[in-house]
Structures are given as C-alpha cells and as structure tokens.
Chains A and B, each alone.
Chain A
Amino acid sequence: MNEEIIIAGFGGQGVLSMGKILAYSGIMQDKEVSWMPSYGPEMRGGTANVTVIISDERVSSPVLNEFDTAIILNQQSMDKFETSVKLGGILIYDGNGITRHPKRKDIKIYRIDAAEKAAETGVAKVFNMVVLGGFLKIKPIVKLENVIKGIEKSLPARYHNLIPLNEKALKIGMEYIYEVNIN
C-alpha cells in the first residue's frame, strides 16, 4: 500500500492538522508516513496545502507532482490540483464556495458538504474531521480506532475532552460523502 494524498484549502480550515492526524493514524497502524506542508508566503491569509504519504515501505520523495487522492476545499485549490490527480485517482471536494466544479472524467469524483454538516453539529471547527471521515469511507487505509489514537497523539491533553465530538464528525463524514457523476 502506498497512498499519496494532497489536502488543499484556505489557511484556517484545519488542512495541516487534518494531514497531521492522518499521518499519526498511519503511524498507529505501523505504516511509514510523511507530512510536507506548503509553508511559503501564500500561507499567510491565503491557501494552505499539505502532502501526506502513507505507505508500507519507507517513503522516498515527500514532495510530489501527482497524487492518488486530492482533497480540495476551495476554488483556488481546485484550479491548482484537479489536474494533479493520477489517472483513475480520486478527487474529494466540498462544494461550499466552489464556482467551477471538477470536470475530469478519467478520475472518480466525490463531494462532501462538510462545512454544512459541521455547522449542524454546532461546532463548525470539526469541519476537517468531517472531510477526513469522508476520505476514510472512500479509502479505508487506516482503521477508525487508529484515527482516534492519531487524534489523541495530535491534540494536547487539555483538548482530549473533544475527542468524542471529533469521532462523531468522522462518522458524519463517512455517512454523507457521495459520488458525483460527470457527464
């Protein structure tokens, strides 16, 4: 197993921490992982993205130009990364704020209205966990129990009371992701 993922959106959406939790989940499942953020000037108030690789073998390049899965959370990222999905790969996006929807027919496209579903829980901040849940439904590369362990490792102990809420958000994501057919 070698899964190469890009997660891209606005700074503040929890893109980097979602990647970190995914990487930690991989470690909990005895996988090799890497997490490489964009840390350029564009992060400051603009877009943020992170490349996460989860693999059975030692990760070679942490920097890639094409991905098995792209998780896209704003329009700028859609413009930049739709073309970077490998043939037959997967694109997951949140429709919120998207004006030009993905068009590729040679990949599988899934949509998750995570901003909306997160708001319904009353804590909009779990947005990124709803997205992660959706991804894990489509690509169950790590078990839910290991994701919970990953969250425990990523969050300072003072926030551990929020773990049940995050678990709930993951499950919401798993429930509400759906495939989009491009005709």
Chain B
Amino acid sequence: MKELKLMKGNEAFAEGTIRAGADAYFGYPITPQSEVLEYLMAVRPYETTGMVVLQAESEIAAINMVYGGASCGKRVLTSSSSPGISLKQEGISYLAGAELPCIILNVVRGGPGLGTIQPSQSDYFQSVKGGGHGDYKCIVLAPSSVQEMYDFPKLGFELAFKYRNPVLILSDGIIGQMMEKVYLDEPTPRWSEEEVIKNSPWATTGKVVDRERNIITSLILEASIQEKHVIKLYEKYKVIEENEIRYETFQCEDAEYLFVAYGSSARICQKAVQILREKGIKAGLLRPITLLPYPKKAINDLSKQIKSIVVVEMSMGQMVEDVMLAVECKIPVNHYGRTGGVIPSPKEVADFMMQKIKGE
C-alpha cells in the first residue's frame, strides 16, 4: 500500500533521496530549492537510515564532498539552483572524468548572473552541452511533476551506478515550489559495506590483498592514455543513448501540430493542447524526460506526420536547437519562450501556435 501525501517538489525530492537509500546529501541553501535541505534537516534521516545530511560551507565544498563520497562507492547527492550549479561545474567535470556516480539537482531560476529567484529553463545548454570543461556528458533527467521529483532520485541512482556517471536532474522553480499528490513507495535500504564493495568494485573501499589498488582520479597526464579514456567515455555515452532515452507523448496519435517542451513548460503545453483541441486544431505534445540522451528519433519519426513544431521553453531558445537537429530541417520549427523568471500562460502558448498555423 503506497502512502499518499501532498508535497512540494523540493520536499518530494528530499523524501525520495531518503527512500532511495541515499548515503549522504551535501548542500548549501539557495532559493528556490532550499526546501531540500530544510526538509532533510527536519526529517533527520541520520537518526533513522543513517543518511548523512550536511550543510557545507559553500556549493563548491558540497560538490567536492560528493566527489569524496562517490569515490567510496556511496550513493551521494547535492542540490542547488542556477548560480550555485555554475559554481559546481568544475566538480561536475571532475566527477565525469573520474566516472563517479552521483545525483545533482538543479532547481533552475532566471539568469544570467545572480538573476532572479523565479522559475526558468535557461540552464539547458549548461546541462546538456557541457557546463564544465572537457569532453564529457551527464545523464540529464527533467521532471515535470512532483511525483517525478520523488521518483527520480531512485531512477537517478540506478542510472548513475549502472554507467558510473553523474546524473543531473534538471528541474525548475515551478516544479520545486508547487504541491501535488505524491505516492510514496517502500524505502530501499542503504547498502551495507558488503553491498557497496559488491556493487562498486571500482570504489576506494580499502585495499585488499588479492587485487590491484583502486584509484579514483581525473588526472591522466599522458595524452595518448587520456585520449583512450575519453574515447571509452564516449563509447559509454553511446550505450546510454541506445538504452536510456525516455519521453512521453500527449495526444500525438492524430496530431498535425506538435509542441516539444520539458519540465513545467510541458505542463503548460498540455493545457495549450487542450485549448487548441477545443478549437478543432489537432495539436499534440512530446515531452522529453531524458534531455541527455535526447529523444531525437521519436521527434524525427513524428515529424513525418506533423506540419510544424513549436518548442516552448522558459528561455530565449536552447532546446529548440536540438529539435531542429532532430527533424533535419524537414518541417518548420518555431520557438516560443519567456525568460528572466516570467512564466508563459497556456493561452499565450496556444495563441502563438495559432498564429504560426495561420501564417503558414
């Protein structure tokens, strides 16, 4: 029997990490994600499951604590919002280079700079095109409901450990702050020391006599070996792309016009689809759940039945570039965006698509 609760997205995420069997959370407060740390401090999992909850001295300290915890094969995570995530980028690059599994939650706010505390989706490029330095990729999940904020820590750890890769959960101020129904499942226990050694044979769990030393590092000074390492990483990313693409479609069966949107924009577009359907326009929505790997093929396949696409993002246009690449210029791809913390209404999104349809 699943427990039913009304929770904020940030609280659901925090509860999700405890129930996913996380070993440690390292964070630093910033609006609009401070409830993650607040909730963990209020629930005190260190007294029940033994999960460490620590407010670090800065975002940079927190991401480096994640590096330390992950090196030991533990299920660890951090969370922040845009400016804080920028600070973490060096650490994320190191984690990716050293192939360390972990979860990083970004509850995006408007930027650039210190920007605003209100919702935005302007960190898409940062999340999927790099962020830190070097040839690397994170797996990027985009929740669009409070339930997914609860579910994704568990999924995130699964993927992170399956591929030894950081998982970025790209949320935003709407999903973090809103409350919805959440079904809580039975907690997954934390791994015992034996399970850590079994599940992460690469981790620095202490040298034993009959095996080589485990070394966690992203420093490979020899160019030819560094190249081999990066090629190996990219072979892994290819496997991830083959196996882990996730997306959801809404009213796409007979759709002639398509919205592509993720996170809270996908929720707004769902309402816009309803508004357009009431006017007799056959609109549909494709919502990428994984932003990396990206559902290119699904969008390309749909483009054969679709006349045009509107990409809706709370940014000046970032994901729209990936949609354009996916459809290979076969159909028009338009972008509708609000930025700086302004949230588009379902009506303005529907009106924009109407305009584009009439303009064709």
Residues in chain A within 8 A of chain B (CB atoms): 20, 23-24, 27, 32-37, 39-41, 59-66, 153
Contacts and interface: CB of A to CB of B under 8 A. Distances in A.
10 contacts: A20-B179, A33-B181, A34-B178, A34-B179, A34-B180, A35-B179, A37-B178, A60-B346, A61-B272, A62-B174
Contacts of B272: 61
A63 B268 contact: yes
B341 A65 contact: no
A63 B174 contact: yes
B345 interface: yes
Residue of A27, A32, A35 most packed against chain B (CB within 10 A): A35
Contacts of A66: 347
Interface string B100-135: 000000000000000011100000000000000000
A64 B345 contact: yes
A23 B173 contact: no
In the complex, which range does the number of interface residues on chain B fall in? Answer: 20 to 34
Contacts of A34: 178-180
Q: Give 4 closest A-B pairs by Cβ, nearest first.
A: A65-B345, A61-B271, A60-B270, A35-B179
Contact of B117 (A36, A40, A64): A40
B281 interface: no
Contact of A60 (B32, B177, B274, B347): B274
B173 A39 contact: yes
B345 A35 contact: no
Contacts of A23: 6, 179
A17 to B, nearest CB: 11
Contacts of A20: 6, 179
B221 interface: no
Contacts of A60: 267-268, 270-271, 274, 346
A65 B347 contact: yes
B346 A27 contact: no
A71 to B, nearest CB: 18
A60 B265 CA distance: 10
Contact of A32 (B116, B174, B181): B181
B343 interface: yes
B324 to A, nearest CB: 25
B264 interface: yes
A61 B267 contact: yes
Counting chain A CB atoms within 10 Å of each CB, which of B118, B180, B346 scores highest?
A: B180
A27 B178 contact: no
Nearest to B181: A27
Nearest to A154: B6
A81 B35 CA distance: 29
Nearest to B176: A39
Contact of B180 (A59, A61, A65, A153): A59
Contacts of B32: 39
A50 to B, nearest CB: 9
